Amino acid sequence: MKAQITAFGEPATLTDELLQEGQSAPQVKVVQNNYQDLIIGGAKDKPQLILTVPTLDGDVCPKEIEQFDEVLHDLSGKIYTFVVSMDLPHAQRRYCVIYDIQNLQILSDFRHREMRKYGVLIADGILQGLLARAAFVIDTKGKITYVQLVKEQTDEPDYDAVRRAVEAVLATT
């Protein structure tokens, strides 16, 4: 069943089924801020945290990214942390410079073809075509160990729950 969310109190549906804990994390090709492709998801030498956000240019996203940059600072060498939005790569590069983002890699799915595999593309409503605010923790074998979908897109995620999930996957690595 496709997940339901709200954005500014208005209902919206995701285009595909949201991936769940225990499922394999698909490899997806996203774009770095230099317009070079990068494959995330799947098996890697370190666990991954994939955060999806509607846009960097909003009220909540800067708070979320700054908070995760701070909360995960001490784990930066132990885990890959990716933030994916639909923003253009050059706008993301400017954002990283302005906000001095150090521990997160900001990536784009502006071609609208990859992150729907995670079930986070918004199908309708005022944020149609953007990504829902979500977090996926993935172990080194490519299995999803934690999923958090923020039901109201103007709310921040539960940072502590994500941090605990990251620590749990690191404890088993």
CA distance linking residue 84 with residue 52, whole number of Å: 5
Q: Could you give the angle at the alpha carbon of 163 between the alpha carbons of 171 and 103, nearest 5°? A: 100
Sheet with strand 48-52: strands edge to edge:
37-40, 28-31, 105-108, 80-85, 48-52, 134-138, 144-149
Sign of the CA dihedral with 104 first, then 109, 114, and 118 last: positive
Neighbours of 32 (CB within 10 A): 15
Active site residues: 61
Residues 6 or more apart in contact with residue 113 via CB below 8 angstroms: none
